[in-house]
Amino acid sequence: MTSPTIPDSLIRSLREAQHVVVLTGAGISAESGIPTFRDAQTGLWAQYDPEDLATPQAFRRNPQLVWEWYRWRRSLVEKASPNAAHRALVHMEQKAPRLTIVTQNVDGLHKQAGSSEVLELHGNIMRARCSVENASVDSPDRGGSDDELPHCPTCGALLRPDVVWFGEPLPTEALNAATAAIGACDLLLCVGTSGLVHPAASLPLLAVERGAITAEINPQKTPLSQWMDYELRAPAGAVLPPLVAHTWPDLAGDEALP
Ligand code: OAD
């Protein structure tokens, strides 16, 4: 993978930043083998219709189909490991006075890598929650066969994946914390998100309004690009490890960094 040139001024800003926020999307997990949503050909929405799989109406119509699809996506997540980009953010957290990851991903790979301040805006695919009472449940499939639908251990109603579907609000606590972090940060990195799904896609504007330094790491341009001070057009795994290594040269001997 060839790394793009990383501007010295971005390296200096990152070294001096007191609070760094990294907004991530499906692109950061692409190099772990988890498909994105909107990449042409390989993206999930190129093959599946979200109306059939990722709305409350779809779940009411056909919970079996929805669970089948989420079980398949869970199996991809279970096989995946954090990649060099996730690991670079763990190193960044060790060096930056404060680092918050705001993620739209439901795969849990940031936490698995070892990042500690991770705000999951769209839930977590490994959890389920009661479709009536909303209480979260871990490992809801334990003991169930593939055809069996999981039920709430408390009230017996159907469990649903603990993710945000189209038309649903984001978890209030995570959204409030993300809004506060981005509105108070001095450097924002937008990594691997198409910037098309709101409210997550509106959050970077809070950093822009505040005058924070902003950078996008994505092989493609997005609607966010116009607001960014820096655009690094390459995969996250080719940018984040050298960005961290150049910013904090004492980390360069680490196996996760080039
Ligand atoms: P998308 O699939 O919309 O966008 C993925 C972005 O990652 C694209 O802009 C790609 O160019 C970029 N990309 C691909 N490979 C990359 C790599 N190796 N490194 C860096 N960038 C790369 O995914 P999201 O923006 O996360 O919502 O999508 C937002 C939401 O839409 C998702 O959370 C999901 C989806 O519908 C829900 O399920 C609620």
| Model pLDDT, residue 253 | 61
* Alpha carbon separation from 237 to 83, 184, 212, 228 (Å, rounded): 7, 27, 24, 20
Out of 86, 91, 110, 122, which one is annotated catalytic?
122
Assess contact for 45 and 37: CB atoms under 8 A.
Answer: yes
| Model pLDDT, residue 235 | 98
Give the pLDDT confidence of 238-254 residue by residue, as tens digits: 999 999 999 999 886 66
Give kind and range of the element (H or E) at residue 236. Answer: helix 236-247
Strand partners, 30: none
| Model pLDDT, residue 108 | 98
Q: How far is the CA of 144 from the centre of ligand 1 (A)?
A: 31
Give the pLDDT confidence of 186-245 residue by residue, as tens digits: 999 999 999 999 999 999 999 999 999 999 999 999 999 999 999 999 999 999 999 999
d(CA 26, CA 38): 9
- Which residue owns the Cα nearest ligand 1 atom 9? 194
How many angstroms separate the first and last alpha carbons of the chain? 11
| Model pLDDT, residue 142 | 47
